[in-house]
A and B are shown apart, each in its own frame.
Chain A
Amino acid sequence: MAKRKKSLSEYSTGQLVLYRFSKNKLAMFGVVLLAAMALVILLGPLVVPEESVSMMHIPERFSAPGENGFLFGSDEFGRDLFARILYGGRISLFCSLAVIAIAFVVGAIIGGAAGFFGGKVDSVLMRFIDILMAVPSALLAMAIITALGNGVWKLVVALAIGQIARFARTVRASVLTLRNMEYVEAAKCYGSSSMRIILKHILPNGIGPIIVSATLTLGQTILSISSMGYLGLGVASPTPEWGTIISENKVNLQDFPHLGLIPGICICLTVMAVNFIGDGLRDAFDPRTKN
């Protein structure tokens, strides 16, 4: 039997989103770039041992990129910049993902409950979210770090709290539009539990805007983590992190600009890749926004 070309309506929403996304050149470029970055960061430790992060080669300090076997050169203590960026990238990326994951879970619970149950629950929870929104998130994070002190996980918690409000609002908006759909009513009629309705019917249909918002927030979170590192909050030198690497080389930048340029370009490329993916996802989920 000859293969018949499927009509548009025979594809699932997920397939259509994936199709539109794969047609977006910038988004695919972002995926490739991010995948390459992630691969290097994940597999790099197989090639570069962890000791080389703090191993000092004083006679070979301030090597130019490529000199003395240092791919990206070395800093004022003769530490391998490539190794530091490699291991710093693990912290920058994993922490950002952790921030998004925590903010997403807490935000989804708050926003989901507010949207699904409505009424008093909604107004109490949303007042709380309004209050969180009233404080600029950078300030909120700093206040929390004042209380908790320095540390990678404390930084993650501080930044995650600042992003909860955004996720709660997005999830609530999604749930509100889906709550009155016929299929949700039907599920209620045959006695599904609230949990089941939320997980099986509302979540898969409302996930689009949430994923988009998560991706775009991820880019900003990578920037926040490295800014905090630069300011000396959260991840502190000598632990490598992209922001702290730039900060510890600050005084030597005039003579050896590559010490600041290379980690900065790493941050830029990563965030840009994430933003391209985010924009691509937004257009793929909602083709009307595509201009």
Chain B
Amino acid sequence: MSWIKYALKRLLMLIPVILCVTLILYTILSLAPNGLARQKLGQDASEEQIYALEEEMGLHDPIIVRYVKYMAGVCRLDFGVSWINSNNVLNEFAHRLPYTLLIAVLSVLFAVGVGVPLGIFSAIKQYSLFDYGSTFVAMLLFSMPAFWLGTMCQLLFCVTLGLLPVAGDKTWTCFILPPLILGANTLASMIRMSRTSMLDVIKQDYIRTARSKGAAEGAVILRHAMRNSLIPVITQVGICFAGAIGGAVVTESIFGINGVGMLLINAVKSRDVPIVMGTVIFVTIIVGVINLIVDLICAVIDPRIDLAS
């Protein structure tokens, strides 16, 4: 049961991280100029009205007071309300999270499901045409901006060929192209990672031992090589998931999906501090939990990893 203890320890370690991240963000975000009250009330609002609204938003307190108040709210799961439309931050986030999680999970599944076999196969057939081809594709996808690939694919498949809906999030067909676009970059790093890792493992002594004891080639690859080569790849999956949630901002704005990314980009543009704060905190927690799960999976696959230390 050491893993439960380990998981709890890791989750508890998230608390100081969140505290520091929020403190830093709060300090930076409080530098944002306070033209917001005027913007909200319109040009002909009187100075008193603006002052009153700013007072209500707590903009006149010292940063540390505001921070403590904010964190006290966070402990009660009250992340404040949007400065723009007064929606509750937590509700807003919870409504949009499923869309983002869906495309992020699909994109990582796509990248792992296609990338790992491709990478492993090109390592087995090193210097073959297939190897060169997949390495080239990986390099191409790695160098391509996601927003450009997305726009161009949208143009080709949705507008010109009319195969898929151009934008939106109402039918399941809307969720075919976005995960592929979001996963393209991850796919590239998966191919590269698993190829390098497999090449590394194939050269090891225990693979030669397995061959010399007469194991079939398939068994050598599947039972001995693959299991060992997957460990660095799985670690990478956690990092990729964090990247996918960040990348969702671009994908969602291209395909008009009303997810967390869309929420964030609109909040950043209108300088809606509570929404930005809330989103960053939530995403940090989600990414932290996913990294924890990834580490636990690694420990299951590789018994050499000792969680206790």
Contacts and interface: CB of A to CB of B under 8 A. Distances in A.
Contacts of B191: none
A246 B143 contact: no
Q: How large is the interface on B (under 10, 10 to 19, 20 to 34, 35 or more residues)?
A: 35 or more
Nearest to B276: A146
Interface stretch (B26-34, B41-49, B74-82, B172-180): B26-34
Contact of A138 (B25, B139, B247): B247
A247 B280 CA distance: 26
A91 interface: no
Interface of A: 128, 130-131, 134-140, 142-149, 219, 223, 226-227, 230-233, 243, 246-247, 250, 253-254, 257, 260-261, 264, 267-269, 271-272, 275-276, 289, 291
B117 interface: no
Given A233-B268, A267-B145, A272-B140, 4 more contacts: A136-B242, A143-B268, A145-B268, A243-B145
Best-buried of B123, B146, B199, B246 by chain A (most CB within 10 Å): B246
Given A227-B146, A233-B269, A264 B152 contact: yes
B71 to A, nearest CB: 16
Contact of B29 (A146, A247, A254, A275): A146
Of all A-B residue pairs in the complex, the 7 with the closest CB atoms, nearest first, are A138-B246, A272-B143, A271-B143, A264-B148, A136-B246, A291-B199, A230-B147
A253 B287 CA distance: 36
A35 B31 CA distance: 40
A146 B266 CA distance: 10
B147 A246 contact: yes
Given A134-B17, A267-B148, A227 B269 contact: no
B21 A135 contact: yes
21 contacts: A135-B284, A136-B287, A137-B246, A139-B245, A139-B264, A139-B280, A139-B283, A143-B268, A143-B276, A146-B276, A147-B28, A147-B29, A227-B147, A230-B147, A246-B148, A264-B145, A264-B152, A267-B145, A267-B148, A272-B139, A289-B196
Interface of B: 14, 17, 20-21, 24-25, 28-33, 123, 126, 139-140, 142-148, 151-152, 155, 159-160, 195-196, 199-200, 242-243, 245-247, 249-250, 253, 264-265, 267-269, 271-273, 276-277, 279-280, 283-284, 287-288
B268 A253 contact: no
> Interface of chain B, helix or strand or loop or mixed?
helix
Contact of B21 (A134, A137, A233, A250): A134
Contact of B126 (A148, A219, A246, A291): A291
B280 A135 contact: yes
Given A139-B279, A142-B276, A260 B148 contact: yes
Nearest to B265: A231
Given A142-B268, A291-B196, A254 B160 contact: yes
